[in-house]
């Protein structure tokens, strides 16, 4: 059964593992905020008064630093990229989430980050040459049942532009999100920690949200009913 506590614990489990595995530089505590109609699982930022977005178009270096300096993230990964993990629940039903991977906009010397001699934002701020820029788009998995309509699937993947909404089969579990990010952007590390990420294949949230209209165009699909036994049997080829 999905509850705000189970989602909070699932997020914490992911962040705790990444911390213990030395895959992050910094993290914020997981928060639960109650309102009249919603429960939000997110993070405790450094500056609650800071606006979340300063740009609503393409990802920018200024937006990245705004999030970094104000602590608007769940974790800073080992390469100064950010993960932002937020879930909204109405009762025990997930009605929204925003799961974002924000790559560091520069090619940073990792040794400068890991020695801890200076704050991460200061280290990244040393890079301002055009040759240091890394052209990498943020990746975001959104789920918003209230906004679902034609060309705006309830569950979708956004890349590069806010107008890009690639339909997804359902809401995404936090471990599956972490698995996706490491599998596709840090494959060597994903392989080294495959025992942890393997469980993502049978971690599910909610029901099928893919509409018939979304099925006729390219979309992101995964088995939302697979059990641990079924996954392991398939991996063995039995």
For 104-145, the pLDDT digits (tens) are: 999 999 999 988 778 999 999 999 888 899 999 999 999 998
Rounded Cα–Cα distance for residues 158 and 156 (Å): 7
Residue located via tokens 């996954």 = 231
Question: Is pLDDT at 238 greater than 60 in this prediction?
Answer: no
Global pTM value: 0.93
Least confident of 49-63, 93-107, 152-166: 49-63
- Who's near 230: CB < 8 A, 6+ residues apart? 202
Question: Is pLDDT at 188 greater than 90 in this prediction?
Answer: yes
**Selection from 156, 16, 165, 143 nearest residue 88 by Cα:** 143
């Amino acid at each position: 059964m999905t509850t705000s506590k189970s989602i909070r614990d699932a997020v914490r489990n992911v962040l705790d593992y990444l911390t213990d595995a030395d895959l992050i530089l910094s993290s914020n505590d997981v928060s639960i905020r109650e309102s009249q109609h919603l429960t939000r699982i997110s993070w405790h930022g450094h500056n609650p008064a800071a606006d979340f977005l300063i740009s609503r178009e393409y990802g920018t270096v200024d937006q990245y630093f705004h999030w970094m300096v104000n602590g608007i993230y769940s974790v800073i990964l080992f390469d100064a990229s950010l993960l932002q993990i937020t879930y909204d629940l109405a009762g025990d039903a997930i009605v929204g989430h925003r799961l974002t991977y924000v790559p560091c906009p520069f090619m940073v010397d990792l040794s400068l980050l890991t020695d801890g001699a200076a704050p991460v934002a200061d280290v990244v701020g040393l890079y301002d040459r055009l040759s240091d820029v890394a052209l990498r788009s943020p990746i975001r998995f959104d789920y918003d049942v209230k906004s679902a309509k034609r060309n705006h699937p309830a569950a979708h993947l956004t890349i590069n532009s806010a107008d890009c909404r690639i339909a997804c089969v359902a809401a995404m579990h936090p471990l599956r999100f972490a698995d996706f990010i490491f599998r596709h952007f840090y494959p060597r590390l994903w392989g080294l920690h495959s025992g942890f990420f393997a469980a993502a294949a049978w971690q599910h949230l909610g029901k099928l949200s893919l509409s018939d209209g979304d099925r006729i165009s390219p979309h992101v699909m995964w088995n939302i009913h697979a059990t641990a036994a079924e996954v392991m049997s398939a991996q063995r080829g039995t």
